[in-house]
């Protein structure tokens, strides 16, 4: 039986331990909407209301704790959507040392720490196995991603992760 080849999720020949900015998307296990709820106001000027669940508040606190404890990275911006999170992360140094490559690659290590700590704090597995990353290539790319994160709740019903209504 032929199995489909898994798509490579990492940029080939890129050193993920090097300083730089990265856009990450991490989905919940089975894309369950457990992190937040989004409601859009009735008026034209009403922005979306994003309310974090207990799990979402826990993930947010985990992000803040990681930001305080790990000098080699900075979480610049994020949004906690119902079934995924978007993060803009900057690696500020040559990543963690003392472990052999590729384990010391900063982005996989950050994702591993985030998943492990938030799973422990919530007492359950929150996340799917993999994640999406994008190496930010310049100021325009950075600003475009910043805007995407800021406006993502407004576009929730058109989002590719939006759960389809059951009929």
What pLDDT sits at residue 167?
A: 34
Mean pLDDT for the stretch of residues 128-135: 91
pLDDT tens-digit series, residues 44-61: 566 778 899 999 999 999
Give the chain's mean pLDDT.
Answer: 83
Mean pLDDT for the stretch of residues 143-154: 93
What pLDDT sits at residue 72?
A: 85
Among residues 89, 108, 91, the alpha carbon closest in space to that of 99 is found at: 108
Residue predicted with more confidence, 78 or 155: 78
pLDDT tens-digit series, residues 92-111: 876 555 544 444 578 888 99
Determine whether domain 20-154 maps to CATH 3.30.70.1290. Answer: yes
Mean pLDDT for the stretch of residues 8-23: 72
What angle is formed at CA 129 by the lines to CA 38 and CA 119, rounded to 5 degrees?
65
Return the residue matching tokens 């490579």. 8
What pLDDT sits at residue 41?
A: 65
Among residues 48, 23, 16, 10, the alpha carbon closest in space to that of 144 is found at: 23
* Res. 68: pLDDT tops 60: yes
């Amino acid at each position: 039986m032929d199995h489909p080849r898994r798509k490579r999720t990492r940029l080939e020949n890129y050193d993920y331990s090097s300083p730089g900015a990265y856009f990450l998307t991490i989905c919940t296990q089975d894309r369950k909407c457990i992190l937040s709820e989004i409601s859009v106001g009735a008026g034209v000027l009403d922005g979306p209301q994003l309310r974090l669940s207990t799990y979402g508040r826990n993930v947010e606190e985990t992000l803040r704790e990681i930001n305080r404890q790990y000098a080699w990275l900075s979480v610049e911006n994020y949004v906690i959507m119902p079934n995924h999170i978007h993060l803009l992360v900057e690696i500020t140094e040559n990543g963690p040392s003392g472990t052999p490559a590729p384990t010391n690659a900063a982005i996989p290590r950050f994702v591993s720490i985030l998943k492990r700590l938030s799973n422990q704090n919530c007492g359950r597995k929150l996340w799917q196995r993999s994640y999406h990353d994008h190496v930010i290539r310049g100021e325009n790319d950075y600003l475009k991603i910043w805007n995407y994160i800021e406006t993502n709740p407004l576009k929730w019903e058109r989002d590719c992760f939006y759960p389809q209504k059951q009929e």
